């Protein structure tokens, strides 16, 4: 398989993760040889096609089947990590399949963005068994011919019929959870009549919505999904892949199990909303196997709880509303839960994989607190992100005796480690170099003319260390006409530079971050926060826009140390004391640094 997916063929490698019910099912199937008899012809196809192939070298086959009608979000990231990760861990392969059966919603833009998201997360869809490489990028629309053939086979066997009732009449005749459905007046047609009518549908001889093809199962079934579900409808629309060749299209519930079977999928993993559809999934594949179109063993569907994340909405319709109404700047706005948004915000593939592993896989719906996602990001970046000093709310600090002690105009070189902790065996990165002079920028909150109880930073008469530099003693401040502090005044204590023999001669209770006026660089910093103030913004039919956070994006001008000015787009840093930041992958450029806040150093929402 591709490097991203490679594991030992027996799935026994160190990549094995925490057990869950899906892993238990797969391990049971492997132990029992449930799928050992499968054959694979190198490409998707029916039973006869695969019957000509070799024994399937993939121990399992999973699939990730998004509909290309929007951008993927954090919930899809969980599904990607799950499906591709299981295939990787058990010597299998995960198919990348676009479920493009709806001709009116799909766009090439979404196809490209989905492929990019999967690869960015660290996964691929190529396999390499026995020195033979195969790509497993598939489109459901390529199977339309077989789906039509399967529909005709069901009609001829008496398992499907054309219904000409109005949609309203069909809904009324389905019944409800307490009332069984009633048969359609067209249900008793002969297979010959139904086949002729279905071919008329195919040939465009009837209007959109005039009739549908329904499976003939059981109108009295307690599972409403088995009350003769529609499997084909008339829809005159140009399809992005097949053009105008078809004017009838399969319903998703009909297409999905067929796609799985043609691709030799073993474990079809879905979210819980498809649980009630599983009986139809099994019914359809069993009937097509009985008719000789598919070979056994057949795929099996398993459901898991979808991701419910606090302070987030994942409805494509609502996310589109945020974009279209200008509440965010686009699908890749760093406040969006889309994968492109998370990527621009500064999340790493490793952090999302770690998040997916930690939240696990269950069959019970539950809510995951947003802080869990942020913790995974911090844990990933803690020993990766280079440190740097930045002043986000700057006020000027003037060292009034600098020229006297150090020499007029002197700039003293300073350095700090780029990473305070380096893994054993790894070479530490070069230290950050910067200078200190007569004037530096400090955080406004690091000075108090009248300090509150317990305050340890700058106030008249108190000493602090400028981190990586000298100890300074505050002497006062200057203010404007409105009483706002414009300059903090201090004196430098000689021979106290960090790293020199006299550095510890003067004891202080605090060290503060700073940036030199001489070599600091002005930068645009975007302070992103959660998009909603409500943990469940759209629960219970609430207007999700009513809880939009007015402070979800604040843009400021900050000063950053010289090393940060050399950042390349998408490079991550820890701004000391402030949190994790990333050079914006779109707007950051030489001479115009732009940084996004990814997350703070700790969770402030839980307080």
Residue stretches of the annotated binding site for ATP: 67-69, 271, 306-307
Sequential DSSP letters for 451-488 = PPTT--SB-TT-EEEETTS-EEEEEEEEE-TTS-EEEE
Show Cβ contacts of residue 607 under 8 Å, excluding neighbours closer than 6 positions: none
DSSP state of 559: E
How far, in Å, are 37, 149, 485, 510 from residue 451 at the CA level? 77, 81, 14, 14
Binding-site members are 67-69, 99, 252, 271, 306-307
98 forms beta bridges with 139
Are 602 and 590 a contacting pair, CB within 8 Å? no
* 515 within 8 A of 432, measured Cβ to Cβ: no
- Residue with the two structure tokens 């409500």: 534
CA atoms within 13 A of residue 45's CA, in its CB half-sphere: 13
- How many angstroms separate the CA atoms of 438 and 469, rounded? 12
Count the neighbouring beta carbons within 10 Å of the beta carbon of residue 604. Answer: 11
CB 604, CB 378: distance < 8 Å: no
Q: In the chain, count H helices and then E strands.
A: 15, 29
Q: What angle do CA 63, 45, 241 make, to 5 degrees?
A: 70
Which pairs count as long-range contacts for 174-182, CB under 8 Å and 24+ apart, including other chains? 174/219, 174/224, 174/227, 175/219, 175/224, 175/227, 176/224, 177/222, 177/224, 180/219, 180/220, 180/221, 181/219, 181/220, 181/224, 181/227, 181/228, 182/219
Q: Which residues are catalytic?
A: 67, 306, 316
* Cα distances (Å, whole numbers) of residue 88 to 78, 84, 174, 262: 15, 6, 43, 21
Under 8 Å CB-to-CB from 454, ≥6 apart: which residues? none
**Which one, of 48, 76, 92, lies nearest residue 266 by Cα?**
92
SS3 233: strand
Read out DSSP for 155-195?
Answer: HHTTSEEEE-S-HHHHHHHT--SSS-----TTTT--HHHHH
| Residue in 468, 474, 475 with CA at minimum distance from that of residue 412 | 468
Which residues are CB-neighbours of 8 under 8 A, at least 6 positions away? 91
Determine if residue 598 is left, alpha or beta; phi over 0 gives left, psi from -120 to 50 gives alpha, anything else beta.
alpha
Task: Tell the burial category of 380 from Cβ atoms under 10 Å away from its Cβ (0-12, 13-18, 19+).
Answer: buried
- To the nearest 10°, report the CA torsion of 43, 46, 52, 54: 50
User: Which positions ≥6 away from 249 have C-beta within 8 Å?
Assistant: 101, 102, 103, 144, 232, 233, 235, 239
Residues 398 and 358 sit within 8 Å (Cβ to Cβ): no
Cis peptide before 280 (omega within 30 of 0): no
Helix (H, G, I), strand (E, B) or coil at 443: strand
Q: Which residues of 181-212 are buried (b: 16+ CB within 10 A; e: fewer)?
A: beebebbebebeebbebbeebbeeebeeeebb
């Amino acid at each position: 398989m591709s490097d991203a997916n490679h594991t030992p063929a027996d799935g026994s490698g160190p990549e094995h993760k925490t057990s869950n019910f899906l892993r238990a099912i797969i391990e049971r199937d492997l132990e029992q040889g449930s799928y050992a008899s499968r054959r694979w012809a190198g490409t998707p196809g029916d039973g006869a096609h695969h019957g000509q192939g070799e024994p399937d070298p993939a121990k399992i086959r999973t699939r990730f089947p998004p509909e290309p009608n929007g951008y993927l979000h954090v919930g899809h990231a969980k599904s990607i990590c799950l499906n591709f990760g299981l295939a990787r861990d058990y010597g299998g392969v995960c198919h990348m399949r676009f479920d493009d059966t709806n001709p009116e919603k799909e766009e090439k833009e979404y196809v490209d963005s989905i492929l990019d998201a999967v690869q960015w997360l660290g996964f691929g869809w190529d396999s390499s068994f026995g020195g033979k490489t195969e790509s497993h990028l598939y489109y459901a629309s390529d199977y339309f011919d077989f789906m039509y053939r399967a529909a005709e086979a069901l009609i001829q066997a008496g398992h499907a019929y054309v219904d000409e009732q109005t949609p309203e009449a069909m809904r009324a005749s389905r019944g409800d959870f307490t009332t069984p459905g009633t048969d359609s007046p067209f249900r008793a047609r002969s297979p010959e009549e139904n086949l002729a009518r279905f071919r008329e549908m195919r040939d465009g001889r009837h209007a959109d919505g005039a009739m549908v093809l329904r499976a003939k199962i059981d109108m009295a079934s307690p599972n409403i999904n088995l009350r003769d579900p529609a499997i084909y409808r008339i829809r005159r629309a140009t399809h992005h892949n097949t053009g105008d060749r078809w004017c009838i299209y399969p319903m998703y519930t009909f297409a999905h199990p067929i796609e799985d079977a043609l691709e030799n999928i073993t474990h079809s993993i879905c979210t819980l909303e498809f649980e009630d559809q599983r009986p139809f999934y099994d019914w359809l594949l069993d009937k097509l196997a009985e008719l000789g179109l598919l070979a056994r063993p057949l795929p099996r569907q398993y459901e898991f709880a979808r991701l419910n994340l606090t302070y987030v909405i994942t409805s494509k319709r609502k996310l589109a509303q945020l974009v279209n109404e200008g509440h965010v700047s686009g699908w890749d706005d760093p406040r969006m839960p889309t994968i492109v948004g998370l990527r621009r915000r500064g999340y790493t593939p490793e952090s999302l994989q770690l998040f997916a592993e930690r939240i696990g896989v269950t069959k019970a719906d539950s809510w995951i607190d947003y802080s869990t996602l942020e913790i995974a990001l911090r844990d990933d970046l803690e020993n990766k992100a280079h440190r740097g000093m930045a002043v986000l709310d700057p006020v000027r600090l003037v060292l009034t005796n600098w020229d006297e002690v150090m020499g007029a105009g002197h700039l003293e070189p300073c350095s700090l480690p780029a990473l305070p902790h380096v893994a054993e065996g790894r070479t530490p990165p070069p230290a950050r170099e910067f200078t200190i002079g007569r004037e530096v920028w400090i955080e406004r909150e690091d000075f108090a003319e009248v300090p509150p109880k317990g305050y340890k930073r700058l106030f008249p008469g108190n000493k602090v260390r400028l981190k990586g530099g000298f100890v300074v003693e505050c002497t006062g401040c200057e203010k404007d006409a409105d009483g706002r502090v414009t300059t903090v005044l201090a004196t430098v204590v000689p021979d106290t530079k960090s790293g020199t023999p006299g550095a510890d001669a003067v004891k202080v209770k605090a060290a503060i971050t700073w940036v030199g006026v001489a070599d600091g660089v002005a930068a645009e910093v975007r302070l992103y926060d959660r998009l909603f103030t409500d943990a469940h913004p759209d629960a219970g039919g609430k207007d999700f826009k009513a809880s939009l956070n007015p402070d979800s994006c604040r843009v400021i001008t900050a000063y950053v140390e010289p090393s940060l000015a050399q950042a390349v787009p998408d490079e991550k840093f820890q701004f000391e004391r402030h949190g994790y930041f990333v050079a914006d992958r779109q707007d950051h450029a030489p001479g115009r640094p732009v940084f996004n806040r990814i997350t703070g150093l700790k969770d402030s929402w839980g307080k």
